[in-house]
Structure 1
Amino acid sequence: MTDSSLPREIQRLRAIMASLRDPKTGCPWDIEQDFKSIAPYTIEEAYEVADAIEREDMGELRGELGDLLLQVVYHSQMAEEAGAFDLTEVVRGISDKMVARHPHVFGDADVRTAEAQTSAWEMMKAQERGDAGALGGVALALPALMRAAKLQKRASRVGFDWPDSEGPKAKISEELQELEAAEGEAERLHEAGDLLFSVVNLLRHMNIDPEVALRQANSRFETRFQYVEENSAKPLKDHTITELEDYWQAAKSAERNGRP
């Protein structure tokens, strides 16, 4: 099926997806999929886009954006088969939403700063949520750190927040003590979650994205650990902790000096 309202290459991709899903002549694997089975791939492709951006690899970014676009087409095709909506409606819906949310560009509203635009955007989203409450619409499938930050931001907008970073700092100390005093696996898990949530709160007050911060920390750990592995004179398990720390400091020094 084609739709003249869509660009030619999008029509081609849509037709390819329809062929893959054809019950008689399509791909057996694609035919068996549904929204839930494809959702993990959608999330994975979004992360691969973010990874290409982090590495500033434009060639890879182009390919990853194509993979992500395929996910949109895939879900839209399944929805069309179910009689729910199609790709044209998805494109029209987001276009209408962007126009409605930018009245200062497509209408007569006067919004002069990015901060004012953010405030206006959130007001419109709140109106769209209706009676769902301040925390309504924060997706359950988001990574836990990202979701914690979003929940806290939503709560903050209605006044449920510390006035500055001193509150979160004190809360971290409190939660750390409670974790150390916890007994049993369930209680430790509970207190560990509270501690992480409090750390996210502190980072939010410092305007630090916890997801980005941890992703970068993961990358640094990988790079340093690989340096230790490659430069170690013997298997890591045969080193003392002092020797491993020396290697680790050497890895950090090499990182600062731009050496592999």
Structure 2
Amino acid sequence: MSELSSREAQLSAFDRLLTIMDELRAQCPWDKKQTLESLRHLTIEETFELSDAILENNLNEIKKELGDLLLHIVFYAKIGSEKTAFDIGSVINSLCEKLIRRHPHIYGDTEAKDEETVKQNWEKIKLQEKGNVSVLGGVPRSLPALIKAMRIQEKARGVGFDWEKKHQVWEKVEEEMKEFKEEFNAAEEAAINKEKATGEFGDLLFSLINYARFIDINPEEALERTNLKFIKRFQYLETAAREAGRKIEDMTLAEMDVYWEEAKKISES
């Protein structure tokens, strides 16, 4: 049978993983020592590794990283069972019940004819479940600021607080850009009020993220692609300079720009 196996084979594989987890927790010195807290930073690292694999569209690496994340989920559940708090079965059943509750258009009598209605229903049900006073109460405080801005905007949209047309969102971007430029003119050399400038720049970024969301661009993914593009071009510059017997720190900006333009041509070809 192929690796894309039957449900029976999938369940057998999951049972095998649970057995291995039990054995490691009982016998391996490292695994025996781990706690919920000690695994936390490792889980974050594994999540970013999965993100890298997705950005690279490397399906084999995605499979490996999903396995690593699954191991962490099983590990947390094992520790939870030792504390008699929860186990992998209660984790899965809780998830199943939540999915059924939050899809009343599938498992109930609610109608949802488009994706937007599904999202709105999800946020309303989630708000009821958590008992949050604020729609934004479910946004994790520790999220990176860019992702947090996007989630805040999505949650506000889920209850109808959003622009109606994309040109309105772009006008807001232009308004924030105009305010920033007038307040902190790049042509002037005078010292700026850093605290005020930080606030205005934050407003500008927030409006750009809002526009990206409105036209279905993930701003985190867009920025990361640019980061990777910059890294690739800069490393080409470093390699080319080294092959020419030059030290990059001794080169002028104009000299470095020659290699930078070469890198751009290569990446665009």
Deviations 1:42-63 (A, max 9, x none): 1222222222222222211111
1:19 corresponds, among 18, 23, 26, to 23
Partner residue in 2 for 1:115: 116
- What CA distance in whole angstroms lies between the structure 1 residues aligned with 2:110 and 2:95? 20
User: In the superposition, relative to structure 1, how do residues 132 and 84 fare at CA in structure 2: closer, same or farther (>3 Å)?
Assistant: farther
Counterpart of 2:217 in structure 1: which amino acid? I
Displacement of 1:72 in angstroms is: 0.5
Matched pairs, number: 247
Displacement of 1:188 in angstroms is: 6.9
**189-198 vs 55-64, which moves further:** 189-198
In structure 2, the residue corresponding to 1:112 is in which secondary structure? coil
**210-219 vs 145-154, which moves further:** 145-154
- What CA distance in whole angstroms lies between the structure 2 residues aligned with 1:223 and 1:116? 41
User: In the superposition, relative to structure 1, how do residues 102 and 157 fare at CA in structure 2: closer, same or farther (>3 Å)?
Assistant: closer
Q: Is the 8 A contact 1:172 1:199 kept in 2?
A: no
Gapped regions of structure 2 (runs ≥ 5): 1-9, 186-190
What's the TM-score, normalizing by structure 1?
A: 0.82
Q: Is the 8 A contact 1:165 1:205 kept in 2?
A: no
- What CA distance in whole angstroms lies between the structure 2 residues aligned with 1:132 and 1:123? 12
- What CA distance in whole angstroms lies between the structure 2 residues aligned with 1:237 and 1:7? 57
- What CA distance in whole angstroms lies between the structure 2 residues aligned with 1:45 and 1:12? 22
1:242 corresponds, among 227, 232, 254, to 254
- What CA distance in whole angstroms lies between the structure 2 residues aligned with 1:21 and 1:189? 49
Counterpart of 1:169 in structure 2: which amino acid? E
- What CA distance in whole angstroms lies between the structure 2 residues aligned with 1:39 and 1:103? 33
Deviations 1:78-115 (A, max 9, x none): 11111110000111111122222223333443322222
User: In the superposition, relative to structure 1, how do residues 110 and 195 fare at CA in structure 2: closer, same or farther (>3 Å)?
Assistant: closer
Counterpart of 1:212 in structure 2: which amino acid? E
Displacement of 1:28 in angstroms is: 2.6
Q: Is the 8 A contact 1:138 1:147 kept in 2?
A: yes
Partner residue in 2 for 1:89: 90
Partner residue in 2 for 1:228: 237
- What CA distance in whole angstroms lies between the structure 2 residues aligned with 1:154 and 1:175? 27
What's the TM-score, normalizing by structure 2?
A: 0.80
Displacement of 1:195 in angstroms is: 5.3
In structure 1, the residue corresponding to 2:263 is in which secondary structure? helix
**73-82 vs 152-161, which moves further:** 152-161
Displacement of 1:221 in angstroms is: 0.9
Displacement of 1:172 in angstroms is: 4.1
Partner residue in 2 for 1:3: none
User: In the superposition, relative to structure 1, how do residues 56 and 74 fare at CA in structure 2: closer, same or farther (>3 Å)?
Assistant: same
In structure 2, the residue corresponding to 1:139 is in which secondary structure? coil
Displacement of 1:18 in angstroms is: 2.5
Gapped regions of structure 1 (runs ≥ 5): 1-5
- What CA distance in whole angstroms lies between the structure 2 residues aligned with 1:205 and 1:114? 14
- What CA distance in whole angstroms lies between the structure 1 residues aligned with 2:201 and 2:169? 23
- What CA distance in whole angstroms lies between the structure 2 residues aligned with 1:228 and 1:158? 49
- What CA distance in whole angstroms lies between the structure 1 residues aligned with 2:174 and 2:38? 41
